[in-house]
Each structure stands twice: as C-alpha cells, then as structure tokens.
Amino acid sequence: MSTQTEPPEQTDDETESTPEAEPEPEPRSPGQRRRDEKAARAAERDREAAEAEPDLGDDAITLKVFRYDPEVEGKTEPRFDTFQIPFTKGMTVLDALIEARDTYDSSLTFRHSCRQAVCGSDALFINGRQRLGCQTQVADLDSDVVRVEPLPHQDVVKDLVVDMEHFYDQMEAVEPYFQTDETPDGELEEQFQTPENREEIKMSTRCIWCGACMSSCNIAADDNAYLGPAAINKAYRFAMDEREGENMKEHRMELIEQENGVWRCQTQFSCTNVCPKDIPLTEHIQELKREAVKSNLKFW
C-alpha cells in the first residue's frame, strides 16, 4: 500500500507574497532636468533667505514714508506707510529708503544718484526739515521714528518725487552761466581772477540745485513769480565775479532788481538754515540789495 506524504508545513516567511518590483522611473528629458534643477536652486535660495532674515530686535528703526500715486486706483489718497528697517552703523535716511524699497515694496519711489551730497537729487522733508537723504545720519535724528515726506510747496508726482520744473525755470531766468565782456587777446591766455574775488564768491559756487532752500521759503510758497534764494544766489555767483565785467554785472542786476527779485526777500533766514552746503544765502541776497541801491544812486 502506497503511502502519501503530507507536504511540508510552510513557514510564515514562505507564506508572504513576494513584493512586486517598483517600476523604474521614466527617463527625464534634458529640458525637464533643467527645469527641476532650476526649481531646486530657487527653493534653496528661498531657504537661505528665510534663514538670513534679520532679527530686528532693538536694532530696528521705524521708517514712516509718505505715499501717493495718482495713477493707481486705491493709492490716490495720500497716506503714510511704516517699515521696520534693521539699523546698521553709519546708516543714512537714503540707505533706509533703499532697504525699504528693495526688501518690502519695490513700488516705493524717490530720487537719488551720487549718494555723496553732490547731485542734490535726494532732497527730502525729513522729520520736519529739508535735508539730503544721503547726508542725514539716522543716528543723528532726535527721534525713534524717521518720518520722510516730499519737499513742501512742490507738486508731488509720486511718493517722494516732486515736480522740479518751476525751480529749474527760476534758475534759468538768471542766466546761470559765465558771460564776459572781454576775452584775453591770446588764444591760450587765461582769464585771471584775484584770490580775493575768488574767496568772495567761493561759497556761492557750492549750490547743487537741490531745491531745499526754495522749499523752505515762505515767500516762494505764496509767490510763484519770486525768483527764490537758489536763483538769486546763482545770480550773485556771476554778478560778483570780476571776470564778467561791469556791463554784464549791470545786466545781471537788472534781472534781479525787478519786483520779483531780491526785494521780495523778507530776511527770514530759513533758506540759510536748511542749505546742505552751508551757503549763506540770506547774506548774498542782502549783498545784492546793497549793490542794487548803489547802482541806482546818482551823485551830482
């Protein structure tokens, strides 16, 4: 009699089903690989930027900036935006504005160029006074809040940018360029100026056309025809230059003796107080008044 043997008992390991092999990923095209690598790099940059986010703590300044944009719905009403800016040693108001624009709001608009108090393009109304943004140290301001506005008495184009066309027109009205009655005989001969005369007009040559003095002048604010301190100072620079000669000096005096010239100045010294180049503007205006009186005196 034949005997049947039972099949060997299966162990747990043997009863488990063999896992199916995972399908191999489809090969990526070169374009897809480049896109994936680009996305990975962008994610890495975002991660690094998040890790580098400064802890503002006590080293932050509060920057309140005037905002106005007549071309964007919802921004036509003037307002102030507040930014928390990490403070660094030597930071200027212009540095803080650039940080606010580059980090928080790229639409923030203001003028700047040389950042060395030479171009005059970043004249602003900072904490209630006309100043150059690049020249004003945040640490020197006696306030925990830096409040920045466009120059007063000027039409605002957008945010901190004002229309300077009227200011330039007033400057051009005094013919702000050198004109002389006579030139030296020799083609290469210099037109000499005495050291004393150069010293007399030296300060007036430092004007950078920033418009701070014009903005501070209450007379200019009420009278658009008034030449203003910057234009009169420019007239002084050439009228008192001995190289132009008497005939040109007389011509320049005629330009500034008119009703809206030097006689409109009420000697408030506001222009002198805010001039970033320390030009004694009021003194120059008074000197031209004396010259105007002397030129009209007749002795007989």
pLDDT single digits (tens) 92-136: 999 999 999 999 999 999 999 999 999 999 999 999 999 999 999
Beta-strand runs (E) in 2-128? 60-67, 79-86, 123-126
Give pLDDT, residue 24. Answer: 63
The residue assigned the tokens 């007749």 is: 298
How far is it, in rounded angstroms, from Cα 108 to Cα 83? 11
Is the pLDDT at 288 greater than 80, yes or no?
A: yes
Give pLDDT, residue 152. Answer: 96
Least confident of 11-15, 188-192, 245-249, 269-273: 11-15
Give pLDDT, residue 294. Answer: 86
Instruction: Report the pLDDT averaged over residues 125-153.
Output: 95
- Residue partners of 208: CB distance under 8 A and separation at least 6: 117, 118, 119, 120, 276, 277
Least confident of 34-43, 93-102, 250-259, 270-279: 34-43
Give pLDDT, residue 269. Answer: 95
Give the type of residue at 108.
L
- Residue partners of 96: CB distance under 8 A and separation at least 6: 61, 63, 83, 85, 138, 146
pTM score, whole prediction? 0.76
DSSP labels for 223-278?
-TTS--HHHHHHHHHHHT-TTS-HHHHHHHHHHHSSTTTGGG-----HHHHH-TT-
Query: Per-domain residue ranges for the chain?
Result: 57-162, 165-182+193-296
Is the pLDDT at 299 greater than 70, yes or no?
A: no
Q: How far is CA 272 from CA 197, 213, 217, in A?
A: 22, 7, 10
Q: Which helix (H) or strand (E) holds 179?
A: none
Using an 8 Å Cβ cutoff, are 93 and 107 in contact?
Answer: no
Q: Which CATH class is domain 57-162?
A: alpha beta
Give pLDDT, residue 297. Answer: 74
How confident is residue 273, by pLDDT bands cut at 50, 70 and 90? very high
List the structure tokens of 233: 């100072």
pLDDT single digits (tens) 163-195: 999 999 999 999 999 998 888 888 788 888 999
Give pLDDT, residue 25. Answer: 62
Q: Which CATH class is domain 165-182+193-296?
A: mainly alpha
pLDDT single digits (tens) 232-252: 999 999 999 999 988 999 999
pLDDT single digits (tens) 46-94: 676 555 544 444 589 999 999 999 998 888 899 999 999 999 999 999 9
Give pLDDT, residue 298. Answer: 61
Give pLDDT, residue 236. Answer: 96
Is the pLDDT at 3 greater than 60, yes or no?
A: no
pLDDT single digits (tens) 274-286: 999 999 999 999 9
